[in-house]
């Protein structure tokens, strides 16, 4: 298992990625049953802190971070966390599709043109995007004060993307980029960027597929005025592309740890079945986190940060300080022989070294302790 963070890091920091509307029960169960228990394990067994960052924890939607903010958080977790940095919960709902933070000029103008040609007003959509000539390539960027945007803008944007696909003006693969949910955006950013080679063995992803009997489904019957949706842009198709193609395709090349659970429901996904899945998820995740971090206290170069015993940790810190300060001592003095004889003497009696301020007592003792490991019996006065 790779450890991307260096030994100066002392925290396991997990980014919790999920569809906030489809993971309320699971996230609540993890906060109550898994995270506190694992936090205590990190503190007492590994000497590490443990933090979980849930971007959708606040019930106020206006406080949810935008795509760029979430990407920055993911980057910080990936770079600073010891061991695992990503925890993802993928349910049976794809999630809401938001407004993309950036659209290239040519594609933005194409979207407006196709919408206007179909008689769809784009005035509201044009208000939330501003052209940025400094972007590479030049793009229209979503204004910061409209991070999430009204639902009407989202509807207009998705309608424009769908029209471009149906009219053959945009490839379905490109259109899917503009139809991704927050969960999809987060996972692709965390796992897809080829510039990062340190995700191997540092991610936990749990996929829960819910199968409901076809006889009990009541499919939506589109009205005559409804726009026909491209099959590749439906929530079901986007969820399948995320789970079946993207995530499962990274299991072997990136050593991605993915758990796939199928929940069969004859009528509906009831609260009882959801509770059973949440309990099983907690049990499995607790075991996975322990296995994923069991190596963190085995590195001798980092052991000074992870020693659970306070006395042993203090001893290691003192030895490190002695090694640093002893480098300032270069003059061989007769007193070194006296220290060596004292250490080799089996009699238990204190050694007092006196001197005024800044006369070199600490540096001298640090140098001697580096030569003699029995420094515990030397007392500086």
User: Which pLDDT does position 229 carry in this prediction?
Assistant: 81
User: Which pLDDT does position 21 carry in this prediction?
Assistant: 92
| pLDDT one digit per residue (tens) for the chain, 381 residues | 444 444 456 899 999 999 999 999 999 999 999 999 999 999 988 889 999 999 999 888 888 888 889 999 999 999 889 889 999 999 999 999 988 888 999 999 999 999 999 999 999 889 899 999 888 889 999 887 555 567 788 889 999 999 999 999 999 999 999 999 999 999 999 998 655 567 888 999 999 999 987 644 444 444 434 557 888 899 999 999 999 999 998 888 888 899 999 988 888 899 999 999 999 999 999 999 999 998 876 443 344 444 445 556 666 667 767 666 655 555 556 677 777 777 767 655 677 777 777 777 777 777 777 666 543 433 333
Asked whether 207 and 258 are in contact (CB, 8 A), the reply is yes
In a domain, 1, yes or no: no
Same domain for 255 and 126: no
In a domain, 341, yes or no: yes
In a domain, 2, yes or no: no
In a domain, 110, yes or no: yes
Secondary structure (3-state) at 135: coil
Same domain for 199 and 71: yes
Same domain for 129 and 86: no
User: Which pLDDT does position 251 carry in this prediction?
Assistant: 87
Same domain for 187 and 204: yes
Same domain for 279 and 323: no
Q: Quote the CA–CA distance of 230 and 173 in Å, as a whole number.
A: 12
Domain end point (choices 162, 177, 192): 177
Residues with Cβ within 8 Å of 16's Cβ and at least 6 positions away in sequence, in order, are: 27, 30, 52, 53, 54, 55, 87, 88, 89
Same domain for 334 and 194: no
In a domain, 304, yes or no: no
User: Which pLDDT does position 380 carry in this prediction?
Assistant: 39
Asked whether 120 and 160 are in contact (CB, 8 A), the reply is yes
Closest to 48 in 3D by CA, of 18, 89, 3: 3
Same domain for 286 and 141: no
Same domain for 192 and 163: no
In SS3 terms, 178-236 reads as CCCEHHHHHHHHHHHCCCCCCCCCCEEEEEEEEEECHHHCCCCCCCCCCCCCCHHHCHH
Same domain for 293 and 189: yes
Range of the domain at 269: 11-96+182-226+235-299
How many structural domains comprise the chain?
A: 3
Same domain for 108 and 87: no
Whichever domain contains 42, its CATH number is 3.40.50
Please give the backbone phi and psi of residue 344, each rounded to the nearest 5 degrees, phi first.
Answer: -75, -15
pTM (predicted TM-score) = 0.72
Same domain for 58 and 83: yes
In a domain, 5, yes or no: no
Same domain for 148 and 76: no
In a domain, 250, yes or no: yes
In a domain, 191, yes or no: yes
Closest to 141 in 3D by CA, of 111, 174, 99: 99
**How far out from the chain centre does Cα 236 lie?**
25
Domain end point (choices 277, 299, 321): 299
């Amino acid at each position: 298992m790779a450890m991307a963070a260096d030994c100066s890091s002392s925290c396991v920091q997990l980014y919790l990625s999920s569809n906030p509307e489809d993971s309320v029960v699971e996230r609540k169960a993890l906060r109550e049953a898994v995270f506190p228990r694992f936090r205590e394990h990190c503190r007492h067994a590994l000497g590490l802190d443990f933090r979980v960052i849930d971007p959708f924890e606040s019930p106020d939607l206006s406080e949810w971070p935008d795509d760029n903010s979430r990407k920055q958080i993911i980057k910080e977790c990936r770079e600073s966390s010891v061991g695992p940095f990503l925890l993802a919960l993928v349910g049976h709902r794809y999630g809401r599709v938001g407004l993309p933070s950036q659209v290239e000029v040519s594609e933005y103008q194409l979207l407006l043109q196709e919408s206007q040609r179909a008689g769809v007003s784009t005035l509201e959509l044009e208000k939330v995007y501003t052209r940025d000539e400094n972007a590479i390539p030049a793009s229209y960027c979503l204004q910061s004060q409209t991070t999430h945007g009204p639902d009407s803008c989202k509807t207009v944007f998705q309608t424009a993307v769908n029209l471009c696909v149906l009219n053959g003006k945009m490839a379905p693969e490109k259109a899917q980029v503009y139809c991704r949910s927050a969960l999809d955006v987060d996972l692709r950013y965390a796992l897809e960027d080829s510039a990062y080679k340190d995700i191997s063995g540092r991610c936990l992803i749990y996929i829960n597929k819910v199968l409901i009997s076809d006889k009990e489904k009541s499919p939506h019957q589109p009205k005559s005025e409804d726009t026909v949706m491209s099959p590749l842009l439906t929530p079901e198709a986007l969820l399948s592309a995320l789970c079946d193609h993207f995530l499962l395709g990274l299991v072997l090349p990136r050593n991605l740890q993915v758990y796939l659970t199928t929940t069969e429901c004859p009528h509906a996904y009831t609260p009882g079945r959801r509770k059973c899945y949440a309990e099983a998820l907690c049990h499995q995740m607790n075991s996975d986190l322990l296995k994923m971090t069991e190596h963190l206290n085995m590195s001798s170069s980092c052991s000074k940060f992870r020693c659970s015993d306070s006395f042993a940790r203090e001893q290691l810190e003192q030895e490190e300080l002695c090694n640093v300060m002893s480098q300032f001592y270069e003059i061989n003095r007769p007193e070194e022989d006296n220290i060596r004889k004292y250490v080799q003497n089996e009699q238990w009696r204190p050694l007092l070294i006196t001197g005024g301020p800044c006369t070199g007592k600490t540096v001298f003792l640090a140098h001697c302790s580096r030569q003699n490991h029995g420094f515990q019996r030397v007392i500086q006065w």
